[in-house]
Amino acid sequence: MHDMKSSALTIRLDGDLDRQLAQVAKRTGRTRSEVVRDAVRRQLALAQFQDLRRRVMPLAEARGYVTDEDVFREIS
């Protein structure tokens, strides 16, 4: 656990999601809270990546980079 203060968050899960969460926690030997924290971290990282990509794409397109293949061709 980190030294920083933590806060509690109450969320409501439907039965199916609750069962899936319990299964993953049991299978991985983690608590439900640990699984949810990991899922939130991943979702926030994905959102940050998507935001960065949206901001960078116009600059990349202006330089002729339209697809991933354009980038790979340049760095290969």
User: Could you give the CA distance from residue 46 to residue 44 in angstroms, rounded to a whole number?
Assistant: 5
As a whole number, the mean pLDDT across the chain is 89
User: Could you give the CA distance from residue 69 to residue 21 in angstroms, rounded to a whole number?
Assistant: 38
pTM: 0.68
Inter-residue contact 21 to 35 (CB < 8 Å): yes
Question: What is the residue whose two structure tokens read 């116009």?
Answer: 58
Q: What is the mean pLDDT of residues 2-28?
A: 92
User: Could you give the CA distance from residue 10 to residue 5 in angstroms, rounded to a whole number?
Assistant: 17
pLDDT of 18-38, one tens digit each? Answer: 999 999 999 999 999 999 999
Q: What is the pLDDT of residue 2?
A: 57
Q: pLDDT grade, residue 42 (50/70/90)?
A: very high
Which one has a higher pLDDT value, 2 or 49?
49
